[in-house]
Amino acid sequence: MFTTEIHNFHQLLHTQVLGLVDPLKKANAGIEIANDSLSKLKEIVEQEDFENVPEEIDFFKHIKPCPMSYLIYFSEMRSCESRKPKAGASFQIRFFEKELRKINKFFYRNNDFVQYMEQGHSYMDHQLFTRNHRKNFPFTPMINYYQYPEFSSSHDMLWAKIQAMYRLIHYIREALEALKPGSVDILHPQKHPVLLWSGSKTALVELIYALYASQYLNHGLSDLSTVVASFEDFFNIKLDGIYKTYGEIKSRKGSRTKFLEELILKLEYKMRQDDV
């Protein structure tokens, strides 16, 4: 049930929100979709609860923070757009630079928890991501986590905000680059020759889902929509209907990971050839 709802959320995000150009329209649409997804997840938890502690940890560590992080991100984006100076590039630049300093202070205050999460630790998950340990936490929790006690652990909201702040940094950097071209070097990666994907789109979707599931991209903070958009940009390709394609991959008879297995065979063959 949870997985289905998260897939639906990503699909709506990819098709109805991320393609919008106007920041305020994008923020408002994103807030609506994220709120709706959280409401549905809360309803599922209230009706069915969790079968065991590992499922509860997985929900508060990986599932709920997904739409929650976007809710925080789009809310912060809308706040920036409504508060930024209406005229004068220099005033707007100072405004966004101040917002970046606020984000840096947030990460500094929560450095221990950020390191715990980004290094992939799990030894304190029972304290951080279950509802039974809300009064016994080693890191500073979010202030409002107790508003819905049956739908909150002590740190799922903080983890969601950390992911949201990474996205907000990217939004602010893009805004600064638009105001002062060349000011954000990170947005100008080295030029590379154009690469074209010459395999099937289904194979590429299989590869994307494998990398997404591995959580090796941006410490597992990248959502599926961002990964897909990056591949589309890098290979100059449009991947429509990825959720439908993924469903078809899951429905295969026999091996469901044909392309990944093909990669293994071809790499092993090359290694054998190189050893000769």
Q: What is the pTM of this model?
A: 0.70
Residue 276, pLDDT > 90, answer no
Q: Give the Cα separation of 63 and 67 in Å (integer).
A: 8
Q: Average pLDDT for residues 125-151, to the nearest whole number?
A: 66
Q: What is the CB neighbour count within 10 angstroms for residue 16? A: 14
Q: What is the CB neighbour count within 10 angstroms for residue 36? A: 15
Q: Give the Cα separation of 226 and 48 in Å (integer).
A: 31
Is pLDDT larger for residue 190 or for residue 228? 228
Q: Average pLDDT for residues 197-218, to the nearest whole number?
A: 87
Q: Give the Cα separation of 156 and 121 in Å (integer).
A: 15
Residues 170-204: pLDDT tens digits? 889 888 888 887 655 444 444 455 577 878 889 99
DSSP string covering 126-181, please? HHHSSGGGTT--SSPPPTTGGGSGGG--SSHHHHHHHHHHHHHHHHHHHHHHHHST
Residue 29 tokens read as 């649409």
Residue 59, pLDDT > 60, answer yes
pLDDT of residue 186: 43
pLDDT of residue 189: 44
| SS3 call for 224 | helix
Which 3-state string (H, E, C) describes 178-196?
HHCCCCCHHHCCCCCCCCC
